A and B are shown apart, each in its own frame.
Chain A
Amino acid sequence: MKKLLCLSALALGWSGSALAADGSSGCGVGWYIFKDKSLLSSSLRQITNSALPNTFSMTFGTSNCAKHSIVHNDKKGLHFVEANQSALEMELAAGEGELLEGLAQTFGCPTQSLPAFSFTLRSAYTELMPEEQMSSRALYQRISETLRDNPSLRTQCSQLAAREDIG
């Protein structure tokens, strides 16, 4: 059953919560000293799991000895925005910075498109952030839309068109 859960998470790349894929029966069979019924072990497990943002699915090359969070290609941008949102807002407004470059990479934008990429998002900052506290998903959606409205970026960034269904 656990294997099934695990594999279905791998196949669909979506399980609602990454935690579901992590069958918590300890590491391998019977060597791990804290059995999963013990209080200590279950609390440890929760802490480990909550260390990663868990609203998005990741593929799990999983065993209970390891957490292998390889982010699905089509979720890369969304996960990136969620993990870095606060600092990214700063760079969106500043029109420069490494997170902005990383974001451009998740959209498959080549390096030479970076000035246009930064300029487009900086100019649209007020529209990107209509509310003070935006959900990552909404911010990501607005960023994608803004970029897609730019014909030049639309052709240059290889992953931009492919993301229309996300949001």
Chain B
Amino acid sequence: MTTSLQGPASAATPTSPTPNLGSDQKLHQLSRSTQWLRLLHMNRVARGRFVSRVDSPEFFLHSHGKTDPLAELLATLKAFWGKHGSSDEQQLGALKQSPYCAFPARLRFLEESLQVTFPAQNCENLDEWRKGLNARSVALVFSSAFAGSAGSLFGHTFLKFSGETLAEKEGVTEFQSQELLDYSVSYAANTGTVNPFTYFFYGVGGGFHGIFETAPFYLKVREYNHTEGRDLWIYDLNLSESEVHILVSHLWELATVGGFYYYFFDENCASILVQMIEVAKPEWDISSRFFYAVLPGETLRQLQSIPGALRNPRQRVSRSKVLQQAQNQLSKDEFSLYERALSQLKIESNENFSRNVLLALVNHSEWSKAKQKGLLSPKERQLRREALFALARTPPPQGTPPSRQTPTRPPQRLSDPSQAHAAAYVQTGVRWSPSSAQENRSNWEGLIGLRGGYHSLLDRQTGSTAGLEIEYLDVLLRTDLQHGQLTLDQFNVLRLTALNPEHTVSFQPSYRASLSYDAPSAKQARILTAVGAGATVSILSKQALAALLLTPQLEVPVGGARSGAQPSGSIALEAQVVGEVPPLPGLRRPLGRARLHGSFASTGQFSSLVEHKILLSDGLSLATQVHSPELAVVGLRSQNNSKSSKRTLSVQWALQQEF
């Protein structure tokens, strides 16, 4: 049996006869093809059952299109054969497009798969947009994590289209600046200004509505590099011109008739981009590799693992780094001249201001303008104006390339986010605590655990934002080796630490926040929340950070064993040093990373924690922790007459495997 589609148009227009499309079986197979399922963003939920991630009903030409790929395929074919302008033609989206104009990627796929040509229509909106975008190659742009906003903690990704082909780009030896006039397309939650509570629940539960935004790349540079002080990394995607054409076509479908609710954890900026890239490049299969969430950094790492997928990596540094660079170029005398001008807010005409000092001064004014939301005081404005006029009188040195000041450069491997470690790991190990015997427990316990994400200051630092630690869903179970019972030992819901050591431009505060549950023994279960702030400096020639934080914390006892115990608040002074362990004499490689952590609470309690982690092989690490709730030196004295059942010391070793 064969299928022919009896659209009203095909009967009326002899010029577009209804073709023989082949057997039902062939169409059924086509509707189950990877490419068709990807075009519809279908998720296989069970054997033979699908649901599309697209939430807008207009994206489906058949009323059951969201769950039935075949029905949608037949409806699409029927619509493409239909007569343009006829009364039953669907008008889709705000642009009231015909299906032919609204679905250019479906059109191309069906024409190629079925070897047919649908009656052509004129699509002005699409043509104009395509012409403006002028896309011949496409790059993935990653912005570094931004501790200033919860939605930006994991970075952000978007696409940038360029009018140059990949081959033309690779012919250019130096990093040049043609990129500013490119167009970027990003997908983001339309959050507006809502309170943090709404933000969280809408973000996780899909209450926000995602929008695609096309904008000149220079506006993105202004937003990220200048206003928010974030770096951008740009990677050309290894797509041919015709694959870029498909990507743009599909983007049009999603942006004009498709619509998604935005979920922070699975339908976010990164996952939608990955699905779009997969439509253009069928042989790349990235989204099926993720196990629970799509983090922007994880997308990059997965793409990096496909040989040759990412090309020409480059980094575009933030305004504050440009300023730092300008300051670093000053000699000692120049620097004091620069500082004097900044403090007096004027340029003494009898002083000899070199071009470098003037450049540093105007860069400083640009930076403070961004920091002060565009506002400079009248005196600062006057200084800026004087420096600009003086600068215009000093010619740039001869023979330097015009793009000398361009903030784009090859990325340093250390900071390249595509080289970062995996976010999640499983761990297994043992713990030894000498005092457990008092509670009829053995000295040895077995440990098993999972960390959901994302990055700790003990992890390999490549590709991460310096000093930023975000760990969530970190669960550790312990088992008493005598009785074999499995108990929840710790559950870190969230641990966020931002240690900012860079004070060359201005002082940056450090802070931390955490929410965790721990139960060192059956009688001691508690929930701990802490929020602290303080300062950090770089030590040991920038190999380590030393921080001092003042941290108010709240402890809430849970469980029946200590009924009657009240929540208690305290404030702790915490000191931590974290960094690389220097190599032993005769060895080249550093011996992993370590953290020494001490805290003195207002309740009079000391505690100390020493952590160490070393990478054994690809993704496998050995982590050691020495924990003493009462500082070992002071605490040991009370061991014999202690009324409390608290362990005074524990040592644990665990093997951690990333995945």
For B507, what are the chain A residues with a Cβ–Cβ distance below 8 Å?
none
Residues of A near any B CB (own CB < 8 A)? 2-3, 6, 10, 23, 25, 27-29, 31-34, 40, 43-44, 47-48, 52, 59, 61-71, 76, 79-80, 83-84, 86-87, 89-102, 105-106, 114-115, 118, 122-123, 125-126, 129, 132
- Chain B hits for A71, CB < 8 A: 132, 216
Q: Other than the known A6-B94, A62-B94, what 8 A-B pairs have Cβ atoms closer than 8 Å?
A: A3-B96, A33-B261, A48-B211, A59-B128, A86-B366, A94-B359, A101-B180, A132-B381
Task: With A63-B255, A63-B257, A70-B133 as known contacts, state yes or no: A126 contacts B402, CB within 8 Å.
Answer: no
User: CA–CA, A106 to B216, complex, Å?
Assistant: 13
User: Which residues of chain B have C-beta atoms less than 8 A from A84's C-beta?
Assistant: 218, 222
**A64 near B181: Cβ-Cβ < 8 Å:** no
Which residues on B sit within 8 Å (CB–CB) of A86? 366, 369, 374
Q: Which residues of B contact A (CB under 8 A)?
A: 55-58, 92-96, 124-126, 128-129, 132-133, 176-178, 180-181, 183, 190-194, 207, 209, 211-216, 218-219, 222, 226, 255-259, 261, 359, 362-363, 366, 369, 374, 381, 385, 388-389, 391-392, 395-396, 400, 402-408
Q: How far is the CB of A9 from chain B (nearest CB, A)?
A: 11
Identify B402's interface contact among A70, A76, A96, CB under 8 A.
A96
In the bound complex, do residue A6 and residue B192 qualify as a contact, i.e. CB atoms below 8 Å apart? Answer: no
- Tell me, in angstroms, the Cα distance from A100 to B396 when the chains sit together: 14
> CA of A74 to CA of B617 in the docked complex: distance in angstroms?
57
Q: For B322, give the chain A residue with the smallest CB separation.
A: A87
Specify which chain A residues have a CB less than 8 angstroms from the CB of B362 in the assembled complex: 90, 93-94
**Do A66 and B212 have beta carbons less than 8 Å apart?**
yes
Whether B94 and A80, one on each chain, are in contact in the complex, defined by CB atoms closer than 8 angstroms, is: no
The 4 closest A-B pairs by CB, nearest first: A70-B132, A98-B177, A61-B129, A125-B392
A66: chain B residues at CB < 8 Å are: 211-214, 255-256
Contact of B176 among A68, A80, A101, A106 (CB under 8 A): A101
A95, B192: Cβ atoms under 8 Å? no
Contact in complex: B180, A98 (CB < 8 Å): yes
CA distance A90 to B367 in the complex (A): 12
Contact at A132–B385, with CB atoms within 8 Å? yes
Take A6-B94, A48-B192 as given contacts and tell me if A28 and B125 are in contact as well, using a CB distance cutoff of 8 Å: no
Complex-state Cα separation, A83 to B168, whole angstroms: 28
C-alpha spacing A65/B194, complex, angstroms = 20
In the bound complex, how far is the Cα of B518 from the Cα of A25, in angstroms? 50
Given A33-B209, A67-B214, A101 and B392 contact (CB-CB distance below 8 Å): no
Q: Which residue of B lies closest to A131 (CB)?
A: B385
The answer to whether A125 and B209 have CB atoms under 8 Å apart is no
Distance A93 CA – B387 CA, assembled complex (angstroms): 9
The reply to whether B207 and A33 contact each other, CB–CB distance below 8 Å, is yes
Complex CA distance for A56 and B55, rounded to whole angstroms: 33
Residue pair A94, B128 in contact (C-beta under 8 Å): no
B132 engages A59 (CB within 8 Å)? yes
Q: Is the CB of B58 within 8 A of A96?
A: no
Chain B residue contacts of A61, Cβ below 8 A: 95, 125-126, 128-129, 132, 214, 256
Which B residues lie within 8 Å of A34 (CB)? Answer: 209
B124 to chain A: closest residue by CB: A10
Which B residues are in CB contact (< 8 Å) with A83?
Answer: 216, 218-219, 222
Assembled-state Cα–Cα distance A90/B363 (Å): 8
Complex alpha-carbon distance, A80 and B177, angstroms: 14
Q: Given A28-B257, A32-B259, A83-B216, check contact A105 B178 (CB 8 Å).
A: yes
